[in-house]
Amino acid sequence: MDKKINKIKEEIKCFSIKTYHDSETFRIKFLGKKKGIITIFLKELKKVSIHKRKIYGKIINELKKEVQKKISIFLSQNEIINEKIQKYDPTIPGKSIEIGSFHPISILKNRMIDIFMKIGFTYVDGREIEDDWHNFTALNIPIDHPSRDMQDTFFLYKDPDILLRTHTSSVQIRYMKKHRPPFRVLSIGKVYRNETISSHSNFMFHQAEGFYIDKKVSFSDLKQVIHYLMTSLFGKAKIRFRPSYFPFTEPSAEVDLYCNSGWVEIMGCGMIDPKVLKNVDIDSETYSGFAFGIGIERLSLIIYNIKDIRMFFDNDVRFLKQFTSEF
Ligand code: PHE
């Protein structure tokens, strides 16, 4: 009998009640009027001596209480859930989730990548932390060159050789060191300048750099690509090339775009200087190429007709959510 009682005890303990159906099965299994384990046990008790009946009767009654307790715990928990369900009002409007949009700079970046992919350019990411050689020296800007003053940036105190790149032209050097021509490459990313001396209002802005090296690449190819870019962006575009100077291109030019207010300078470009090609071991007798650099913020100002460049960095949602990918 002791064994039987222990077995019942164990079974009660192990039975798991998860649903109302479980709780009914549990109740019938132990307390069912005809076949309930405890009911049968109580019936059998009548056959044993009064002394034993008293002892076992007490124990089995405890087990009966345990069964009832287990059921009522389940039912009371269920009541709480039911109460919650009753209080839940499915007619209350849901909390709306704001749908974000791309930053105008990202939209233009993606658009330019699409435009250049159509004419066989590969997109590469550059690094923002550069060393002096890739940002200046290899681009024919030696340490004492005056154009370094125009591109003052952030240097590391501990190692002045490390700096935040001042232009994406450093990507040219990194790419040309690793790859052999022909190639057409586009890279877009952040560049940094000392805001007190730069014509840009911020210490950081975005630039797109494109370069193309092959046999017989000429200035007319450069003009055609710039024209293609401008008409892709603006539909009809009036542009002009103005002679200019960059240490890493020869000849060099600045491109102006005609807007309602007159001519706006939008980019620098030119034929890659043979000295630069030599720095990356590309034979300038066999190969020639062009490069250009465009400020993305300035271009976005024109495309979106935005009055103040600082709005790009204010993070004002009312401003940012006005832009969609299609324009
Ligand atoms: N790196 C130049 C600048 O930031 C732009 C440029 C790129 C000019 C490529 C010529 C060729 O001002």
pLDDT per position as a tens digit, 175-214: 999 999 999 999 999 999 887 655 556 789 999 999 999 9
pLDDT, average across residues 41-47:
87
Distance of CA 5 to the CA centre of its chain: 64
For ligand 1, mutation pick of 222, 248, 277 (most atoms within 8 Å of CB): 248
pLDDT, average across residues 33-60:
88
Q: Please provide the average confidence, as pLDDT, over all residues in the chain.
A: 91
pLDDT above 70 coverage of the chain, percent = 97
pLDDT, average across residues 156-169:
91
Residue 119 has a pLDDT of 97
CB of 175 closer than 6 A to ligand 1?
no
Residues comprising the chain, all counted: 327
Residue 327 has a pLDDT of 44
CATH second-level architecture of 104-323? 2-Layer Sandwich (3.30)
Residue of higher predicted confidence among 249 and 35 = 249
Is the preceding peptide bond at 251 cis, omega within 30 degrees of 0?
A: yes
Residue 326 has a pLDDT of 53
Residue of higher predicted confidence among 52 and 152 = 52
pLDDT above 90 coverage of the chain, percent = 61
Q: How far is it, in rounded angstroms, from Cα 139 to Cα 145?
A: 11
Buried b (16+ CB within 10 A) or exposed e, 212-226: bbeeebeeebbbebb
Instruction: Find the farthest-apart pair of alpha carbons in the chain and give their distance in angstroms, rounded.
Output: 120
- The structural domains of the chain, with segments of one domain joined by +, span 2-87, 104-323
Residue of higher predicted confidence among 311 and 155 = 311
CB of 185 closer than 6 A to ligand 1?
no
CB of 226 closer than 6 A to ligand 1?
no
Residue 200 has a pLDDT of 53
Residue 252 has pLDDT above 60, yes or no: yes
User: From the CA of 213, how far away is ligand 1's center (Å)?
Assistant: 16
Ligand 1 atom closest to the CA of 191, numbered from 1 = 4
pLDDT per position as a tens digit, 105-118: 999 999 999 999 99
Q: What is the pTM of this model?
A: 0.71
CB of 212 closer than 6 A to ligand 1?
no
Pairing label, strands 122-123, 183-192: parallel
Ligand 1 atom closest to the CA of 252, numbered from 1 = 10
